[in-house]
Structure 1
């Protein structure tokens, strides 16, 4: 409700007078409605609407010593933010979950040393109430250590390597998801299954490679392993290496869908039919996976639920509860590429 120009901004006293309650009752309603009777709560809400009263967020934040915002901390470079659709899905899911609590989400990039320094200064200065840490790398431990040392509530997406006991997290079951996919390829008669790994300073990259090693067992062959960094370009580069090194490869498990899509392009250019000659599978189930030619077999990560659980756990930590860790099952999605 807009106030006519020239009229003073409504105050708590105006709301209390309109509702016929004390100023303290209005204050309790504005701070969550605790110890307020249903009739009084209804009267205050009606008075707020009628008077057009709006909370002054700066005054409320000073009074409660809260910033009333949460950071989405992405420890990746700016180009990866736009190249990898998973980050946008996670950010949107987190923003939607926080919106239910009327809490805004602030994006902070920390892909370089300078960005990490600025991010650490910002986060530890009390500008946010908590942090959702996304894409944590074991090689970038400084910012995580500083967040923990400063006592800033934080929850990671994936296992925060080196800080598993000090920071809560929500992770997909990378190991079991990859193992299920590899067993599917094995049951389909594939004999020379290669893998394109994710970064080995991330929990997802490590666990998916561990699943590959376990599946191969004594037949594990280092020649069938090519490194990637989750980018499409690295998937294409790794696929070219595998074809040169192991020309009889008949299946490829890429640790994410972007790398699998890069592998598909290289196989097409090399005249290899997919899946007749080489089966290809990824991990994540991004939107481009189903639109690929052929459509990509993959492992679906439930990103919507992951972001919701991250927000729930973070709000618990902000409220004073101990941090917790959750591992969420994945789902095998079989399409035409394997």
Structure 2
């Protein structure tokens, strides 16, 4: 015996009109009602005669400062992929000290949140958690245990990158990083770097060989310039973003130093610009497309009590033309 909309509605505790709106896609229904309808339909084996592409609600993407090309490429991939999941998407900039983001949650049917910034304000995290909305940290490490994560193993990736530089004879390596916050990606990357150097008996002097700041082109340029002006001895630079690496290369150029003949440079992310410079940047590839796919797939099960899922995807060392064998050049005696 075939089931009717009225029977599904009764079992789900909603009105027949709500069931009709849900399957027709003519209007958005609440997240709770949608879950109940889907649960009952699955339990009773109900399949609607005509099921249009329905609106599953809104995924909110909390975006940090967009000066980083990495975030831009993640957003581009989100825009391309999200239609196949029948969600709408809204981008909400996070501004320190502002609670304007609350307007979106009050006025829209937001069923999930994607975090991009690891350093997101704790008040924002607590507010969203109070709404019992599923959250996923895309391409980073989450400080919030209630959020799911999709990322790479940053410790292992940075370890491999440092081992590669060591294999080329580089032991005096300059590291350019974001400020080292516990758990954050750059903290993990620096941990991996230290582990690789520890294995050959080298203890990094952080005051001499570590520069910290936003992982931007400008920071990479500024920090490298400062180290050169202090006449710090190094034969290679490992920058924790491609943009930092490009900034470092520009600073080296302004000091009449060649890459990789005088100094080898290794980046991190493998964004599109890494393949547009000559020589191609040697870097650690992060799978942006797969990050986004796995993040959106996580919202297929909209459980308000997050499962603390952590998905770790593979990285890859991309050997371009900015790293070479250490030639023992003293860059200050050229």
TM range (shorter): 0.7 to 0.9
Q: Report the Cα offset of residue 247 of structure 1.
A: 3.8
| Distance in 2, Cα, partners of 1:208 & 1:28 | 46
Structure 2 matches for 1:49-68, cutoff 5 A? 68=57
User: Are 2:197 and 1:216 equivalent residues in the alignment?
Assistant: yes
Q: What residue in structure 2 maps to residue 4 of structure 1?
A: none
CA contact (8 A) 1:224 1:246 kept: no
Q: What residue in structure 1 maps to residue 239 of structure 2?
A: 254
CA contact (8 A) 1:195 1:226 kept: yes
Name the SS of the counterpart of 2:187 in structure 1. helix
Q: What residue in structure 1 maps to residue 127 of structure 2?
A: 146
CA contact (8 A) 2:146 2:306 kept: no
Q: Any idea what the Cα deviations from partners look like across 1:304-336, whole Å, max 9, x if unmatched?
A: 100111111133234776341111121100000
Q: Report the Cα offset of residue 146 of structure 1.
A: 1.8
Q: What residue in structure 2 maps to residue 189 of structure 1?
A: 169
Distance 1:236 1:131, change over 3 A: same
CA contact (8 A) 2:221 2:247 kept: yes
Name the SS of the counterpart of 2:274 in structure 1. helix
Name the SS of the counterpart of 1:151 in structure 2. coil
Q: Report the Cα offset of residue 200 of structure 1.
A: 2.5
Q: Report the Cα offset of residue 248 of structure 1.
A: 2.7
> What TM-score, normalized by structure 2, do the two folds share?
0.77
| Distance in 2, Cα, partners of 1:69 & 1:289 | 33
Q: What residue in structure 1 maps to residue 278 of structure 2?
A: 293
Name the SS of the counterpart of 2:100 in structure 1. helix
> What TM-score, normalized by structure 1, do the two folds share?
0.76
Structure 2 matches for 1:35-50, cutoff 5 A? 35-36=45-46, 41=49, 44=50
Structure 2 matches for 1:298-317, cutoff 5 A? 298-317=283-302
Q: What residue in structure 1 maps to residue 329 of structure 2?
A: none
Name the SS of the counterpart of 2:87 in structure 1. coil
Distance 1:304 1:240, change over 3 A: same
Instruction: Tell me which of 57, 60, 70 is aligned to 1:71.
Output: 60
Instruction: Tell me which of 269, 273, 284 is aligned to 2:258.
Output: 273
Q: What residue in structure 2 maps to residue 18 of structure 1?
A: none
Q: Report the Cα offset of residue 95 of structure 1.
A: 3.1
| Distance in 2, Cα, partners of 1:264 & 1:235 | 8
Cα RMSD, aligned residues only: 2.8
| Distance in 1, Cα, partners of 2:18 & 2:248 | 65
Distance 1:321 1:160, change over 3 A: closer
Structure 2 matches for 1:23-34, cutoff 5 A? 29-30=23-24
User: Are 2:77 and 1:134 equivalent residues in the alignment?
Assistant: no
Instruction: Tell me which of 72, 75, 87 is aligned to 1:88.
Output: 72
* Unaligned ranges ≥5, structure 2: 6-15, 26-37, 324-334
Q: What residue in structure 2 maps to residue 118 of structure 1?
A: 100
Distance 1:25 1:86, change over 3 A: closer
| Distance in 1, Cα, partners of 2:84 & 2:304 | 16
| Distance in 1, Cα, partners of 2:242 & 2:17 | 57
CA contact (8 A) 1:239 1:266 kept: yes
Q: Any idea what the Cα deviations from partners look like across 1:51-84, whole Å, max 9, x if unmatched?
A: xxx98x7xxxxxxxx7x1110111x23xxx1x32
CA contact (8 A) 1:236 1:266 kept: yes
CA contact (8 A) 1:317 1:323 kept: no
Higher helix share: 1
| Distance in 2, Cα, partners of 1:110 & 1:150 | 18
* Unaligned ranges ≥5, structure 1: 1-11, 13-21, 49-53, 58-65
Q: Report the Cα offset of residue 94 of structure 1.
A: 2.5
Name the SS of the counterpart of 1:194 in structure 2. strand
| Distance in 1, Cα, partners of 2:20 & 2:147 | 37
Q: Report the Cα offset of residue 252 of structure 1.
A: 0.2
Give the number of equivalent residue pairs. 287
User: Are 2:268 and 1:283 equivalent residues in the alignment?
Assistant: yes
